[in-house]
Amino acid sequence: MRQNDQQPALLPVLSRGKHRNPRKGACFMEFASLLAGERWSDHPACTHPLLAAVARHVNDYTSDAGRSRLAQLIPSVIGLTGDDLHIDAEIALGAARLALPVAAAERQGVLAVAVLSCERVLAELDDRPAGTLGERSRAALAQAPHAAAWAARFTGAVPARLTSARRFRDQAAPTIVRNAAVGIAQACVPDPDKMLRDLLVQSIDTCASWADRDQAATPARAPR
């Protein structure tokens, strides 16, 4: 498979953490950078930053036995990117909703706040009334009522526009997906590896959906 001096003779093996070069192995996003023909990195430009963060967390928290099942998803993240804040908010919201019902009690409060915070961001983006919750968010919160009640009191005391779009994208959303991945990995569920894979799959689908909308909204260039 050697095509140039930067590519290894054999594809690397998926493993936890960062790697200096493909001979040492690769995490999910390092493998993606290789397939995309980019400089070797776990933060390649070919993938939306928050989706890439989900992929790195899923890669690292999945067991060694289950990690190989992630390999077939790598091509799916290449080329998925966009600037719409909906992508960050929807990926973070989906992660929080998935993890909330199964996470340990001490982490559920943080995840419940994440659900409400993401819904608040989306309400502002979509010009919906503050406090509007989607059906899936209500269902997730209903499975952790004590955490939901605490989160409602906490977010009610926070000004609606305390978090800027940039701060949400750079700080809040990455923290949410990390907490969701850790919550799932440490949960008392029969197959945490499957749930982590589900987290990555739904994040890929979300990013693809909004990336398609961005492309549809971009006017086509006039032919020369």
Q: List the domain boundaries for the chain.
A: 85-209
Give 10-residue mean pLDDT values along the chain (224 residues).
Answer: 48 86 90 95 96 98 94 96 96 98 96 96 92 95 97 78 81 97 96 98 96 63 41
pLDDT for 12 equals: 83
Contact indicator for 125, 150 with CB cutoff of 8 Å:
no
- The residues near 224 (Cβ < 8 Å, ≥ 6 apart) are none
Q: How many CB atoms lie within 10 A of CB 180?
A: 31
Residue 55 and residue 178: Cα distance in Å, rounded? 10
pLDDT for 122 equals: 95
pLDDT for 157 equals: 62
Residue 220 and residue 4: Cα distance in Å, rounded? 35
pLDDT for 9 equals: 52
Residue 56 and residue 50: Cα distance in Å, rounded? 10
DSSP classification of residue 187: S
Residue 36 and residue 33: Cα distance in Å, rounded? 5
Q: Indicate the Cα dihedral angle 165, 166, 168, 172, nearest 10°.
A: -170
pLDDT for 218 equals: 53
pTM of the prediction? Answer: 0.88
Contact indicator for 51, 92 with CB cutoff of 8 Å:
no
The identity of residue 140, as a single letter, is: A
> b vs e for 35-65, b when ≥16 Cβ sit within 10 Å of the residue's Cβ?
ebebebebebebbbbbbbbbbbbbbbbbeee
Q: Where are any strands of DSSP class E within the chain?
A: none
pLDDT for 215 equals: 62
